[in-house]
Structure 1
Amino acid sequence: MVKLEDTNTKNNRNEILEEGIKKGIFGSIKGREIDRVDYDRWMGGPRGPEKITFKDGSAVIFKCDIRHYWMADNPDTAIREAIVYQIDKVVGLGLVPKTMVIDDTVGNVRYDGSVQEWIKDARDGYQIEKFTNEERKDFERLKVFDFVIGNSDRHLGNVLFTGDDKLHAIDNNACLIIDKNEDILSFSDSVIIFFSRNVIHDMRHIVELIERFYANKDTILNLIDKYIHDNTELAKVMVESRINYLYNMLKRDKPFPRKYREWRKGLEEEVQNILRRKK
């Protein structure tokens, strides 16, 4: 798996470089020697995901910034991919492969979008029966993570595992409100199923993740405010209300609701609390 490092590290190896802490989510593949590029088609568009394999054998998956190829009001999905990686780092989840926004020209080809570490020798989550105990815990953590960021496209095809007690959550651009008309209270039924079938208060790995979300809430909201340019305020309200809801339910030391409408009611109350504070 290709390593991505800060530019202040002293090395000359072929690696994707983060362009310093101040620029945060941005990086570069300039100076890399490309061995080959494998193309795919994406949603019938003019440019699909591209697997870029470098001379040193490492690889990344490149996704174009779709606003350059479709309607101008499309969300900046490249930034969303990178922000999700940053949020993963903030809460110490460790499941999202390193992801950066790039705008490079290599040869005569422009790469404007996101790059993410390619996970070698991985199998997808449709083989969930082969998960180790630690991988199952990661999968449970991922349910909470996706709920908070509003990921509407998590399926077993974009959950990878390599049999070494580690999951990898790829393809994270359908999150943080990608449509101004999106219902910020909606979420996957799988969240209800998970929380209703388990005594969350006894699941230390879930409790710790919720507490880390709450402790780092301001940092996460600042990331969204700094980098997300589409539906920013909606995204912030959605994320903050979900973090508050999970944390407050946890501290009440009561079972989580078993019905979808009860979750929506609780989330709506948190949303209204946030909006009142902003007035």
Structure 2
Amino acid sequence: MSTTGLMDPSLDDRHGRAYWAVADCWNVVRRGLTHYRRQPVLIAWQLGFPVISVLLYGYVFGGAMKSPDGGSVRDFLMPGMFAMTMAFGFMNTAMAVVTDATKGVIDRFRSMPMAPSAVVTGRGVNDLIVACAELTILAATAFAMGWRADAGPMKTLAAFALLLLLRFCLIWVGILLGLLVPTPEAAGGLYAVAFPLTMISSVFVPPSTMPDWLGTIAAWNPISSTAAAARELFGNPVASDGSWIQEHSLLMAVVWPIVVTAVFAPLAVRRFQRLSR
């Protein structure tokens, strides 16, 4: 990663701290994206696993599922799969952060004359770019399987924006967890948290089909709000039992990510600052 010019304080005065914060952030992003070119297995895992999941749930388990309106189950399932993929992405973030930490990469960043925020923001931007690629491939796969978005281009774009907003807020969760766990092996144990987080939701089935107490938890899961909002914007079947949280899924698909970001972004930055001392 090039930091040419950062050693000269006069350049910092000439361009301003904001300029170098953006430039350093981009250098971190470029480093992360370069890893995909040099380690193609990362692409196969991060982009291939979601596609395989869509195919499995769409074809293998799809016959055992029912759409709330009695129509195509894929129209109900696919927006939920998109939301699940965005939610699972925080595991990739945590793994990348803890790997950099254990290999001394973060220590090297701290020793360089670069903006302190660049390591955290660069990780976030890198993962958001990867999330865009994931959504593009997933949407193309779902389209080939027969899924359609029937509500028009503007609402379709809005649905994808909400999915990326969910991914953005969970990036901060992944960064914090990556800074907290000691090793990549320990980070692998976070799947014990990720699976219940995604499964106890409306991704696959309406919360009304679950026991009352579990259905309430699933309905208030932020992933459920994003999945329901995406279904509505795509023009796909929406399952609602008339509860407040399900009737206001569009609102909560925005509120939940704001709340999660407001809580976890400062915690992630504070944790990184403590490590920098």
TM-score range, shorter chain: under 0.3
Could you say which structure has the higher strand fraction? 1
TM-score by length of 2: 0.27
Query: Which structure carries more relative contact order (alpha carbon 8 Å, separation 6+)?
Result: 2
